[in-house]
Every structure is written in C-alpha cells, then in structure tokens.
Amino acid sequence: MPNRNERVNVLGVGISITNIASAVDTIQDWVERHERHYICVTGVHGVMESQKNADLKRIHNQSGLTVPDGMPMVWVGHLKKYPGIERVYGPDLMMEICKKSLRKGYSHFFYGGEEGVAKKLRENFEERFPGIRIVGTYTPPFRSLYKQEEAELIEKVAKAKPDFFWVGLSTPKQEHFMADYLPRLNTKVMIGVGAAFDIHTGRVKDAPQWVKKMGLQWVHRLGQEPRRLWKRYLYNNPKFVYLFLKEYVFETRKA
C-alpha cells in the first residue's frame, strides 16, 4: 500500500504517492478522527502555475494530500521509482467518496461552478445516490467574496457542518480558497476538484477511458473548450516536458 505521507518532487511540487483506494481510506480516516485538511487534485496545470506562484507551490506542499490528477504525474512517479503511484482523477475521487458516504452517513457541501451548476450537481447526486446527505450549495461570484458574502458563507457552513466541502473552481483559485478558508469554515475536509462539477452535470463531456490512460485527456478537453484552454495546454505542456527533462537529466548526472 502507498505511504500516505510520501511524495514525489515534480518541479518543486510534492505529489502524493497514492492511488484512489488509498486516498479514499486516508480521507475517511481524517473524518473519523475529526482532522481538518484540504486536498489538491493536481496535474500539469497546477505544477506549472506553481512555477510562477510561490504561494501556490506552498499551498500544494502543505496540503493533507496533493493527488496525481493527470497521467504525467504518474509517469514522473514511476520514472522516479515510485511504482505505487496511480492516477487519482478528481471526478472519480468525488464519486468514490460519495459512494462511501451512503454507508457512513457523511455530509457534503458544494461550492463553485457557474450559476445553477452546484444546485444541478446536488440534484444529480441525490438521484444517483439516494439517501446521500447534501447539506448545502453556494455559487460564488467570479471575484473574491465581499465581507458580507464571506460572513453569509461562514454562517451557512456553520449551520450545515458538512464533513466534505467540495470546491469546484479553477486552478489556482480553488487552491488559494481552500488554504484561506479551511480555518474559517466549519467543515472537516475540503477537496478542490476543478471541472468535476461540470463533468458530473453534463456541461463538459468526460473522455473515454482509453484516452485517459494514454494521457491524452487534455486533447479531449481542448476540443470542447478551445478558446478557454488553448493557451493552458499548448504552452504549459511543452514547457512542463522541457523543464522536467532538464531537471531529471541534471539529477541523473549528479547521482
């Protein structure tokens, strides 16, 4: 079984050596012990954003877990002799935890998405998992919360007391939000799952399994949202490969 505390260094970002079963077990253990953590679900985009944002890199490295959302994180882990690392895809992690919740009675709060997305997600999950406890939703504005909005959110979460607070914002916004608000919200575990809200409500189509295994999910996403994502993928991906190979060759020669 992977060591929940062990991480592989990917350009300065510590990616947890884990798989989806181990990650779910770790998260469940936190809830049972009343421990409070946030979880980053991170791939190439998060690692590359961290190259130009030291605070984001710190947030990744101080998380309870920073799970390998993309296959490049897994390939780097294997290359660095961590055979136990497997992909922990955000939407899949969300589904597995919600399945566990039916037996354990865990409660959930959905924060993020465009107008109506969080409510639609609640409807879909209540239909898919009859009996699931979804105790609140909140659609934030596309800016930082004003003081009054922040106070309303804190009060709403204080009353709901969710075990899981799901954050469906884009990187790096969701990581900063979790690090800032975990101490202020009455919840146990915050998980930033990015596009999972859109995928589970059908706003974005998920890629076929074979595309995911080949590490080509970015092509599938780019085809659906080219105007929004072209710069992220066509700039970040080649630069990630260049920087990683440069670092890896240096480390190999040094060894």
Give CA–CA dist 74/10, Å, rounded. Answer: 10
Residues 156 and 32 in one domain: yes
Q: What's the rounded mean pLDDT across residues 153-173?
A: 95
Note whether 46 and 86 are within 8 A (CB): no
**What type of residue is 23?**
A
Residue 2, domain member (yes or no): no
The predicted model scores a pTM of 0.90
Q: What's the rounded mean pLDDT across residues 7-21?
A: 96
Residue 51, domain member (yes or no): yes
Total of domains in the chain: 2
Classify residue 150 by its DSSP letter.
H
pLDDT tens-digit series, residues 182-203: 999 999 999 999 888 888 887 7
Q: Inter-axis angle of helices 44-51 and 226-254, to 10 degrees?
A: 70
Which position has the token pair 């390939």? 75
- Which secondary structure element, helix H or strand E, spans residue 66, and what is its range? strand 65-68
Residue 1, domain member (yes or no): no
136: CATH: 3.40.50
Give CA–CA dist 240/251, Å, rounded. Answer: 16
Which position has the token pair 């295994």? 213
Report the chain's mean pLDDT, rounded to a whole number.
Answer: 89
Residue 53, domain member (yes or no): yes
**Last-in-domain residue among 180, 200, 220:** 200
Cβ-proximal residues to 187 (8 Å cutoff; 6+ apart), any chain: 36, 109, 157, 161, 162, 163, 164, 165
Residues 179 and 234 in one domain: no
Give CA–CA dist 230/169, Å, rounded. Answer: 18
The residue segments making up the domain with residue 242 are 209-254
pLDDT tens-digit series, residues 114-140: 888 999 999 999 999 999 999 999 998
> In which band, very low, low, confident or very high, does the pLDDT at 224 lie, cut at 50, 70 and 90?
low
Give CA–CA dist 51/56, Å, rounded. Answer: 9
> In which band, very low, low, confident or very high, does the pLDDT at 244 lie, cut at 50, 70 and 90?
confident
Cis, bond preceding 208 (omega within 30 deg of 0): no
Give CA–CA dist 116/108, Å, rounded. Answer: 17
Residues 144 and 230 in one domain: no
Residues 225 and 180 in one domain: no
Residues 176 and 215 in one domain: no
Residues 156 and 231 in one domain: no
